[in-house]
């Protein structure tokens, strides 16, 4: 047989089943689509502020206490995903905030911390969810913090300030985004806004159904544009919701994610959806291990929701990552490290809930009783005195992001550390490289190490969208 003809023939045959690297990495979007690798849908999951230690400890807790491996880690164990490390820097720092990080994904450019898709000279970078809307796809965001917060906003709008949440609430309506769910009633409710604008009414006039209770998800009108605002401020931490009856009228991240997918999945041109576990970041800022682990596990359930859909759908690219690290928590070496770590199963509430329950008129025994009832930790008299000092005004210096009451988060986490072997390097963001995983059409384009801005064009290329 002629060797040249044989080789040419085998190339044709193998081409029926595989895509050559030149096609995978080319800018020829038409070629990618023709090879059957086009992503009709994209689901982008962000566990905000998730350091690698957060992922590890949540998975260890899941295995040791719940008796199962985590969904994200199962994707690694079963070799189902492409995996990379990602550099999360912003234009102004090696340590990003959530606005600049989200803008890297959303606008494809690194911007300064604090702004959303605005360049150094006022350039406006068109956010990616707008690009996909222009291409005929439906677009949505669900989060456990305010829906107007930095991470969802970075996929959707341009703003000089991440703090302009009143304005961002109005921008979403003007853009006609299809599903928006999370917290933030104060940015929509006329009685809570300084300008007294009724933003809910604005949405209703544009044809949106407005949801305010978890039960509203059961009576949703299929396919109709949806605004779900289930709390003032962020949604409750998962562990508090699980143990406090009055908080159980708010949905979980996985429940919101499933509804959002169902609302958009029948669109002939597909959909794009951001899913954010926003309170993972807030828990890290507070050095609150119970809050951190349980909200990471709640995020992990949303990962399962997305992957379950994608495995059946076959046309969905799922991206799983974080926007940056935070506080770099980790399990610390010790003779009884694992046993001590497992004691976190005794924690029934967040540190935020526990520390809010302490008052200046408490005596030492009352504090000791409260801590034992909620964490099964027996405080010494000195530890109880130290905690009480924060409430008597002697040590009111503890601040930290999202700690306007100046609760002694750091002091209490140091006490817990003696019992659970969990340490923290800070109460703020970190510049470490972070985990990134992809499943589905387009995931083969992922390189082992990427900058955050590269995901913008990867999504467009995977969906064969020219913007």
Spatial contact of 187 and 233, defined as CB atoms under 8 Å apart = no
SS3 268: coil
Distance CA 90, CA 109 (A): 9
Crossing angle of helices 454-462 and 98-107, in 10° steps, is: 40
Distance CA 272, CA 136 (A): 11
Q: Is 185 one of the annotated binding-site residues?
A: no
Q: For residues 427-465, b (16+ Cβ closer than 10 Å) or e, as one string?
A: bebbebebbbbbbbbbbebbeeebebbbbbebbbbbbbb
Among residues 234, 241, 247, the alpha carbon closest in space to that of 350 is found at 241
Spatial contact of 171 and 157, defined as CB atoms under 8 Å apart = yes
N-term to C-term CA, the chain: 48
Q: Which residue has the tokens 């690694």?
A: 76
Q: Is 456 one of the annotated binding-site residues?
A: no
Q: Which residues are catalytic, by number?
A: 98
State both tokens at 121: 């000279």
Q: Is 429 one of the annotated binding-site residues?
A: yes
Q: Is 281 one of the annotated binding-site residues?
A: yes
SS3 450: strand
Q: Is 361 one of the annotated binding-site residues?
A: no
Distance CA 450, CA 413 (A): 34
Q: Which residue has the tokens 């000279």?
A: 121
Other beta carbons within 10 angstroms of residue 79's beta carbon come to 8
What phi and psi, each to the nearest 5 degrees, are found at residue 84? -150, 165
Q: Is 151 one of the annotated binding-site residues?
A: yes
Q: Is 386 one of the annotated binding-site residues?
A: no
Q: Which residues are annotated as a binding site for Zn(2+)?
A: 48, 281, 285, 323-324, 429
Binding residues: 48, 149, 151, 276, 281, 285, 323-324, 429
Feature table: binding site for Mg(2+): 48, 149, 151, 276
């Amino acid at each position: 047989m002629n060797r040249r003809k044989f080789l040419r023939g085998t190339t044709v045959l193998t081409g029926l089943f595989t895509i050559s690297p030149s096609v995978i990495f080319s800018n020829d979007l038409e070629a990618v689509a023709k090879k059957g690798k086009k992503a009709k849908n994209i689901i982008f999951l962000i566990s905000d502020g998730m350091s690698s230690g957060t992922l590890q400890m949540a998975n260890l807790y899941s295995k040791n206490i719940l008796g199962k491996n985590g969904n994200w880690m199962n994707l690694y164990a079963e070799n189902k995903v492409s995996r990379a490390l990602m550099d999360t820097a912003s234009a102004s720092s090696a340590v990003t905030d959530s606005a600049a990080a989200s803008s890297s994904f959303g606008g494809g450019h690194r911007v300064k911390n604090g702004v959303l898709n605005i360049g150094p000279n006022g350039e406006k970078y068109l956010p990616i969810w707008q690009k996909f809307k222009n291409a005929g796809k439906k677009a949505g965001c669900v989060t456990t913090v305010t829906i107007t917060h930095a991470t969802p906003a970075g996929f959707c709008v341009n703003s000089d300030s991440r703090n302009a949440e009143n304005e961002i609430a109005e921008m979403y309506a003007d853009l006609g985004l299809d599903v928006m769910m999370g917290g933030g009633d104060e940015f929509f409710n006329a009685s809570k806004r300084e300008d007294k604008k009724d933003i809910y009414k604005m949405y209703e006039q544009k044809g949106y159904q407005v949801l305010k209770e978890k039960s509203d998800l059961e009576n949703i009108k299929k396919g109709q544009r949806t605004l779900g605002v289930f709390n003032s401020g962020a949604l409750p931490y998962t562990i508090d919701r699980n143990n406090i009856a009055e908080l159980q009228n708010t949905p979980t991240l996985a429940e919101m994610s499933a509804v959002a997918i169902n609302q958009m999945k029948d669109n002939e041109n597909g959909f794009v959806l951001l899913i954010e576990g926003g309170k993972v970041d807030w828990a890290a800022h507070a050095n609150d291990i119970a809050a951190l682990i349980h909200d990471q596990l709640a995020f992990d359930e949303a990962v399962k929701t997305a992957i379950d859909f994608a495995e059946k759908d076959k046309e969905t690219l799922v991206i799983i990552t974080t926007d940056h690290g935070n506080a770099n928590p980790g399990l610390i070496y010790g003779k009884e490290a694992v046993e001590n770590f497992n004691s976190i199963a005794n924690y029934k509430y967040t540190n935020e809930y526990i520390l809010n329950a302490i008052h200046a008129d408490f005596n030492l025994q009352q504090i000791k009783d409260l801590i034992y009832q909620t964490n099964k930790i027996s405080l010494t008299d000195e530890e109880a005195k130290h905690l009480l000092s924060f409430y008597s005004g002697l040590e009111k210096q503890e601040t930290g992001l999202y700690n306007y009451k100046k609760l002694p988060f750091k002091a209490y986490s140091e006490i817990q550390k003696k019992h659970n072997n969990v340490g923290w390097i800070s109460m703020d963001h970190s510049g470490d490289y972070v985990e990134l995983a992809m499943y589905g059409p387009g995931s083969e384009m992922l390189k082992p190490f990427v900058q955050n801005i590269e995901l913008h064009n990867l999504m467009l290329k995977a969906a064969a969208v020219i913007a």
